[in-house]
A and B are shown apart, each in its own frame.
Chain A
Amino acid sequence: MLKSKTFLKKTRAGGVLKIVREHYLRDDIGCGAVGCTACGGAHEGPALEPQPQDPASSLCPQPHYLLPDTNVLLHQIDVLEDPAIRNVIVLQTVLQEVRNRSAPVYKRIRDVTNNQEKHFYTFTNEHHRETYVEQEQGENANDRNDRAIRVAAKWYNEHLKKMSTDNQLQVIFITNDRKNKEKAVEEGIPAFTCEEYVKSLTANPELIDRLACLSEEGNEIESGKIIFSEHLPLSKLQQGIKSGTYLQGTFRASRENYLEATVWIHGDNEENKEIILQGLKHLNRAIHEDIVAVELLPKSQWVAPSSVVLHDEGQNEDDVEKEEEREQMLKTAVSEKMLKPTGRVVGIIKRNWRPYCGMLSKSDIKESRRHLFTPADKRIPRIRIETRQASTLEGRRIIVAIDGWPRNSRYPNGHFVKNLGDVGEKETETEVLLLEHDVPHQPFSQAVLSFLPKMPWSITEKDMKNREDLRHLCICSVDPPGCTDIDDALHCRELENGNLEVGVHIADVSHFIRPGNALDQESARRGTTVYLCEKRIDMVPELLSSNLCSLKCDVDRLAFSCIWEMNHSAEILKTKFTKSVINSKASLTYAEAQLRIDSANMRDNITTSLRGLNKLAKILKKKRIEKGALTLSSPEVRFHMDSETHDPIDLQTKELRETNSMVEEFMLLANISVAKKIYEEFSEHALLRKHPAPPPSNYEILVKAARSRNLEIKTDTAKSLAESLDRAESPTFPYLNTLLRILATRCMMQAVYFCSGMDNDFHHYGLASPIYTHFTSPIRRYADVIVHRLLAVAIGADCTYPELTDKHKLADICKNLNYRHKMAQYAQRASVAFHTQLFFKSKGIVSEEAYILFVRKNAIVVLIPKYGLEGTVFFEEKDKPNPRLIYDDEIPSLKIEDTVFHVFDKVKVKIMLDSSNLQHQKIRMSLVEPQIPGISIPPDDISNMNLNGPQKKKMKFEK
């Protein structure tokens, strides 16, 4: 039967369109219950069980199916995902509404319906002749959908009765909408609210914790006073944004101060790019990453970013006055020019909530079911949840989702989702940091693995097409020890004409990962391999990363080669790109390679090749530095792991050898050569990498710090910066130069991938190269795979595909890659931090020399060169009288009692593991030298400090 659906739509231009769609109604849609004769049976895919053996519900003892409405699906997805809930009918009406309202929930529900075990059935009620309803006069779209759901529920109940007379099967309608429920009961449909039903499942009491607590509008007024001002409705916000009274931006909470946040304004308007928000009321329930609308405050109320470090410690939620007191603390007299545009949140445009990892802070009141949850990410406020299993959850990492934030509540409300495991366990902590940094780390799916080459694999005739045989060349690879994903190898030989031939050979990953298939999509999504201290999260399956693509020695491997002819002063005479087959003669570590170069009596082919490379690399490096490339420094640490327990047993900063820079130099050269080639060939859609020059204000801190040591750092160009950094030496203080370089690194911008057709600034500031890309690590970076494909097309070795030359698609890929790279970096840092903690846990308390990196209002940030470890020494403690602190922002310096601290001052600190806060076990540092009475601690007196155990009594904040 044919029906037509008619609806009106407003076009973007302001017109009104009448749209008519054909809509077919069928009478052969099955109910989904296996064995139902009326429907003809045969249902493909997941279906409902004929006799559901569900957990006994006290409300509904007979077997039943559930039929949730849209809001239940949207808000209570965590409950529905639980294995205890099975046999659920998902109506098409509901599914469509969910899809329109929340893509993530829609994806989750699709996953659940695809799971055979769950017995979820999608009923296409909109196309069923008996369950289709048309919108009636005076009925809005929502009412119609509600009615459609009720009609379907009613149909089901009648249908099931027809199945057999003695059948007790029922369909239970689950809705949280009071009116809808009343109507359903009137129509004879058994209906319950989600809460009622879940509570009736006596066998599964833990499900109650997962219920999202949604306060109804009506309840709000009676309980407690209102803390926050109301959020404006979306239509008002959009009008305001259009007219310019409000600004739209991404809310970024501060890690260091829970009362402060910045909003990054979207759009190209240069001024007011960043707006500061200060104080709980101005933050107005916005949560990190939300898209918000802000209103600028008048200039008289503008503030400067405070340099106070403040953590939300309050246990009791009613301490609003105290909060105000704290807010006052932020507002200190500052010079006029320090003031930044300040605003307040007037409304939320889009919430970006996700499930958060963290720990439970058990309520002080015994038997209380309401507890606060402290997320691991300090930018997320604490969340109030209701649970009966507080004692089992204590001391464990759990996941909690936010449900809402009423106006009268100091904290948002949420519900428990999942228990990850014990805190401090390596697996749990790794899981947490992967989840927190959104690193995809599930095992590769079967679909992805199906695109791997079949083993045993060998190079065939077909593979040799368009490929040069370079197996005779003396190629070797140089990598860090224990590296299994070798993606580059090198060779160098003298040609007959006296010139040198240098080759960089990169694993030919794009040969194995064909565009568009599941393997390609998965690696594009992962974007990069993530290296944690004890674990590697691969971008491509292991068969490729550690075997077929890895350029191991003494096996034939496919490669993408970049071969230059150079003269002895390292000038490139000819460049050639080709796909090739190579056979690496040796896999060396940096140390081994260095040893070969240095030992005079070694004269074999590999060694001469290495010596040639090393010689050229030195010249290349010199040239590069002359052009103004920066040599920056960041303290890098490596752990020596115990081979069995995988506990860190020693910690050392990374050593840099000549061979490191040799390999690096040729990789840079290859990347630059490839970048030029692909840009020449594809000026509109080359994937390149740029490093924007930082704005001059970024350097302020570096210049000030150097000035305090009577050194001058010029920052007008990269070259002058590099030169002035080179000149900044102090005979009495050899480490100063490294410190300055570390500081300079902090001033830099983030390098990013981009599509050449979408941008016109290609410059790479750090490398002082006009053009750059990534070509040399396709095993661990997806960007390189794209670059390989572009280059292969450019030299005619492979065919192109439509997406490759679509600059918008490329720009999307770049966006994802940049995000994944950033997140991978953060995850790596978090992993190092966690292992540092493990290390100090086993090591106990040590005193070490340190240098001051930054001076803050109430703390100093120090760097311990021995461990490459950075930490903060606080001078204000909750349970001690505050010392006299004078902070000077201009120098900058901090005067405590009579001692003045400047940047780069040498101090001695005691390092220990502070487990007083289980959630954030952290390395705690306290001052040993210089001695300040009452502040520093004597080197040997540590017995009276009770650090390794939760403090029994929470001291109240006093001022």
Chain B
Amino acid sequence: MASVALSEAEKVYIMHGVQEDLRVDGRGCEDYRCVEVETDVVSNTSGSARVKLGHTDILVGVKAEMGTPKLEKPNEGYLEFFVDCSANATPDFEGRGGDDLGTEIANTLYRIFNNKSSVDLKTLCISPREHCWVLYVDVLLLECDGNLFDAISIAVKAALFNTRIPRVRVLEDEEGSKDIELSDDPYDCIRLSVENVPCIVTLCKIGYRHVVDATLQEEACSLASLLVSVTSKGVVTCLRKVGKGSLDPESIFEMMETSKRVGKVLHASLQSVLHKEESLGPKRQKVGFLG
């Protein structure tokens, strides 16, 4: 993972600051940095979003393609995740350097979506056992400035919100042979409900306290952190510890409480931003990469 080298004195400075609930950039322990979200940035995807969190820069594209449902879930569609770490972010990702991180993030995404409530997969089914929509969620990591997981999860949620899947009808004739018909109105499409799509809140243990949305410098001071995926209602869907240090159960409990609290706020503000953008309609001036 991308990292910075800090001197011992710098680390102590950060740790002491956290102790006093005052971080290097002036935030409190439970404050996020400023998040920028823009959807519909890549026109040839079904849905896309770009999220900037500090200098962490994430682009997510969702592409809907037709496929066959998985055997064990004949009347559901499914999601596929792929994370690409661009060498733009750090020279370490050059060549196959980013693969390990990419796989790790993709696996985490699989885990947080691996439950019935996060996305209603049944709406992705076209005809049981034969056709369903497969959503390919491609994450592109453009710049790293700490707290990758949170930024990615926000971007994924925004992209899913933006996703428009063309509505198709299955025509069946007397012989039972099926044909798929595409609606000729491009506005006629399915929207996913992102109500229960969770976001990840990463809590970094620094000294005796934990902080949300750690910068690269803060991550360098932390030995262990906890990824908690929370829905907008505060339900924890997944928990994962990263880093080589250990956490005592009491602080884990404390961190979960924090994450629920922070997560709810995060969801609420994300939702309101997305709706606000949506209400501007197609006339919205797109910022994209020129902004």
Contacts and interface: CB of A to CB of B under 8 A. Distances in A.
A457 interface: no
Given A8-B186, A10-B180, A18 B46 contact: yes
**Interface SS of A by simple majority:** mixed
A137 B187 contact: yes
A243 B185 contact: no
Contacts, number: 47
B268 interface: no
A4 B43 CA distance: 8
B65 interface: yes
A57 interface: no
Contacts of A20: 43-44
A140 B183 CA distance: 9
A239 B179 contact: yes
A9 B282 CA distance: 21
Interface string A123-144: 0000000000011111111000
Interface string B160-195: 000000101000010101011010111100000000
**Interface SS of B by simple majority:** loop
B66 interface: yes
Interface string B177-220: 10110101111000000000000000000000000000000000
Given A6-B43, A16-B166, A243-B173, A140 B184 contact: yes
The listed residue with most B CB atoms (<10 A of its CB), out of A136, A139, A239, is: A239
A138 B173 contact: no
A6 B186 contact: yes
Nearest to A137: B187
A6 B282 CA distance: 13
A7 B166 CA distance: 10
A671 B265 CA distance: 89
A245 to B, nearest CB: 9
The listed residue with most A CB atoms (<10 A of its CB), out of B45, B65, B175, B185, is: B185
A15 interface: yes
Contacts of A239: 173, 177, 179
The listed residue with most B CB atoms (<10 A of its CB), out of A10, A16, A239, is: A16
Contacts of A138: 185, 187
Nearest to A4: B43
A684 B180 CA distance: 40
A709 interface: no
A145 to B, nearest CB: 12
Contact of A16 (B43, B168, B177, B179): B168
A242 interface: yes
B137 to A, nearest CB: 16
Nearest to B187: A137
Contact of A135 (B43, B65, B177, B186): B186
A140 B180 CA distance: 19
B61 to A, nearest CB: 11
A313 to B, nearest CB: 43
A9 B186 CA distance: 10
Given A6-B43, A20-B43, A140-B185, A15 B177 contact: no
A14 interface: yes
Interface in A263-306: none
A799 to B, nearest CB: 44
A137 B179 CA distance: 25
Interface in A381-415: none
Nearest to B282: A134
A135 B186 CA distance: 8
Contacts of B180: 10, 14
Contacts of A8: 166, 182, 186
Contact of A139 (B166, B179, B185): B185
Contact of B175 (A4, A6, A7, A243): A243
Contacts of B185: 137-140
Contact of B184 (A137, A141, A242): A141
Nearest to A19: B44
Contacts of A242: 177
B43 A15 contact: no
Contacts of B282: 134
Given A239-B179, A243-B173, A16 B184 contact: no
A780 B185 CA distance: 54
A16 B66 contact: yes
A237 to B, nearest CB: 12
Given A15-B65, A137-B187, A242-B177, A10 B44 contact: no
B66 A18 contact: no
Contacts of A6: 43-44, 186
Nearest to B65: A15
Nearest to B46: A18
Nearest to B175: A243
Nearest to A11: B66
Contacts of B173: 239, 243
Interface in A103-153: 134-141
Interface in A1-54: 4, 6-10, 14-16, 18-20
Interface in A570-603: none
A9 B65 CA distance: 12
A777 to B, nearest CB: 52
A137 B184 CA distance: 11
Interface in A224-239: 239
Contacts of B44: 6, 18-20
Nearest to A143: B185
Given A4-B43, A8-B166, A239-B173, A16 B186 contact: no
Interface string A878-894: 00000000000000000
Interface string B102-137: 000000000000000000000000000000000000
A242 B282 CA distance: 42
A239 B166 CA distance: 23
Contacts of B66: 14-16
A141 B184 CA distance: 7
Contacts of B175: 243
Contacts of B182: 8-10, 16
Interface in A637-692: none
B179 A7 contact: no
Contacts of A134: 282
B251 to A, nearest CB: 47
A768 to B, nearest CB: 49
Interface string B270-289: 00000000000010000000
A144 to B, nearest CB: 10
Contacts of A7: 186
Contacts of A10: 180, 182
B133 to A, nearest CB: 9
B131 to A, nearest CB: 8
Interface string B49-82: 0000000000000001110000000000000000
A239 B46 CA distance: 30
A15 B126 CA distance: 12
A873 B119 CA distance: 83
Nearest to B178: A14
A243 B177 contact: yes
A491 B269 CA distance: 99
A18 B173 CA distance: 27
A8 B180 CA distance: 14
A243 B176 CA distance: 10
B213 to A, nearest CB: 34
Contacts of A135: 186-187
A20 B282 CA distance: 15
Nearest to B281: A137
Nearest to A142: B184
16 contacts: A4-B43, A6-B44, A8-B186, A15-B66, A16-B64, A16-B66, A16-B182, A18-B45, A18-B46, A18-B166, A20-B43, A134-B282, A135-B186, A141-B184, A239-B177, A242-B177
By Cβ-Cβ distance, the 7 closest A-B pairs, closest first, are: A137-B187, A20-B44, A20-B43, A10-B182, A243-B175, A239-B173, A8-B166
Given A6-B44, A8-B182, A137-B185, 10 more contacts: A4-B43, A6-B43, A8-B166, A16-B64, A18-B45, A19-B44, A135-B186, A135-B187, A140-B185, A239-B179
